[in-house]
């Protein structure tokens, strides 16, 4: 099992920078010799043939790895549970076809890559689909996690006046800010779709699936997280905008009266539409391209 997982990783590594939306995808993808050998061994040796359950596990493992890699290239895409299940199904069908035809390369070229390409196309906003067809490789979007000190400085957090409990939305897989605030004795929590540190105060969840309970939080923070993605929807993917705006409303209602949502980048057009008797907005320009906003819930 371990060696098959390793060869799957090697295969995914080999094609990591390839563009799955390239119109001649079959010509650009490569097959790692170790992966080919592992597949051939599985197909040809009945005694080594893993049972159906193991096939399903490989498919789940590969789909999960693919999701991580796609987010590493473009974190603004959103792969919901139904998309993830459809991806897993492609890996299952690929293996079944390989078993039926015993022809690995043809299965990859004629079924697998086109199926992956079609699946990924559905995740991209229309404006990008066309432009991505011409390029065999893809770059990566800059998207990082920051130290607690950097976030405190950028968001202008005055630790002595932060109202608990504090929730960091899109806290990063390391939850640097949350762990730092905890180390200072503050009641801080974090949520993120990718979490590496397992702590009871860090929740692994997609913000669209997470229920922001009304009147619950003294402070909500989100550095280059929620508002960054809302901005992306605003600029590039209008189909997602409404659900972002509804989530933002839910987050504001999750503030206790007197509580504050602090985030970067700022969202001027969203902030200007907020009811002024309910919310007070302060915006601060930090660099030429970046402002930080604070929204206080007044009533
Ligand atoms: C640029 S990173 C910033 C992380 C952290 N706030 C910091 O400043 O270090 C944005 C984070 O948002 C998370 N994220 C993106 N989409 C998300 C979603 N739909 N639900 C939950 N977290 C999400 C990512 O996993 C990532 O950790």
Any ligand 1 atom below 6 A from CB of 192: yes
Q: Flag the least confident range among 50-54, 149-153, 202-206.
A: 50-54
User: Which of 141, 142, 170, 176 has most ligand 1 atoms within 8 Å of its beta carbon, as the pocket-test mutant?
Assistant: 170
Structure tokens, 47: 């005694």
Q: For residue 102, is it left (φ>0), alpha (ψ between -120 and 50) or beta?
A: left
Percent of the chain with pLDDT over 90: 80
What pLDDT does residue 125 have? 82
Q: With helix as H, strand as E and coil as C, how does 53-79 read?
A: HHHHHHHHHHHHHHHHHHHHHCCCCCC
Any ligand 1 atom below 6 A from CB of 223: yes
Any ligand 1 atom below 6 A from CB of 293: no
Average per-residue pLDDT in the chain? 93
What pLDDT does residue 138 have? 87
Structure tokens, 240: 């997602």
Q: Nearest-CA neighbor of 174 among 139, 157, 150?
A: 150
What's the rounded Cα separation, in Å, for the pair 273 and 14? 47
The Cβ of residue 151 has, within 10 Å, a number of other Cβ atoms equal to 22
Whether the model pTM is above 0.75: yes
Structure tokens, 171: 């806290």
Q: Give pLDDT tens digits for 138-172.
A: 887 778 999 999 999 999 999 999 999 999 999 99
User: Which of 150, 157, 191, 193 has most ligand 1 atoms within 8 Å of its beta carbon, as the pocket-test mutant?
Assistant: 193
| Cβ–Cβ under 8 Å, residues 1 and 51 | no
Any ligand 1 atom below 6 A from CB of 229: yes
Q: Which residue has the tokens 């397992």?
A: 198
Q: Give pLDDT tens digits for 256-274.
A: 999 999 999 999 999 999 9
């Amino acid at each position: 099992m371990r060696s098959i997982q390793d060869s799957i990783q090697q295969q995914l590594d080999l094609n990591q920078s390839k563009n799955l939306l390239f119109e001649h995808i079959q010509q650009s993808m490569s097959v790692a010799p170790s992966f080919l050998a592992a597949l051939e061994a599985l197909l040809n040796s009945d005694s080594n043939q893993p049972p159906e359950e193991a096939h399903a596990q490989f498919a789940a493992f590969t789909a999960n790895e693919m999701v991580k890699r796609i987010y590493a290239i473009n974190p603004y895409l959103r792969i919901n549970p139904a998309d993830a299940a459809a991806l897993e199904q492609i890996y299952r069908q690929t293996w079944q076809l390989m078993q039926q035809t015993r022809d690995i390369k043809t299965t990859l070229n004629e079924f697998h890559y086109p199926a992956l390409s079609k699946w990924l196309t559905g995740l991209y906003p229309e404006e990008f689909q066309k432009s991505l067809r011409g390029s065999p490789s893809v770059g990566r979007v800059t998207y990082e996690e920051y130290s607690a000190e950097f976030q405190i400085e950028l968001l202008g957090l005055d630790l002595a006046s932060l109202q608990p409990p504090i929730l960091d939305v899109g806290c990063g897989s390391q939850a640097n800010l949350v762990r730092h605030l905890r180390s200072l004795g503050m009641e801080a929590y974090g949520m993120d779709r990718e979490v590496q540190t397992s702590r009871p105060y860090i929740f692994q969840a997609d913000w669209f699936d997470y229920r922001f309970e009304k009147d619950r939080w003294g402070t909500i923070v989100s550095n280059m997280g929620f508002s960054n993605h809302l901005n992306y929807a605003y600029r590039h993917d209008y189909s997602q905008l409404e659900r972002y705006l509804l989530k933002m409303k839910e987050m504001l209602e999750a503030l206790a009266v007197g509580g504050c949502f602090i985030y970067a980048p700022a969202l001027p057009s969203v902030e200007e539409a907020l009811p002024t008797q309910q919310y007070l907005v302060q915006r601060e320009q930090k660099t030429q391209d970046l402002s930080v906003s604070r929204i206080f819930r007044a009533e």
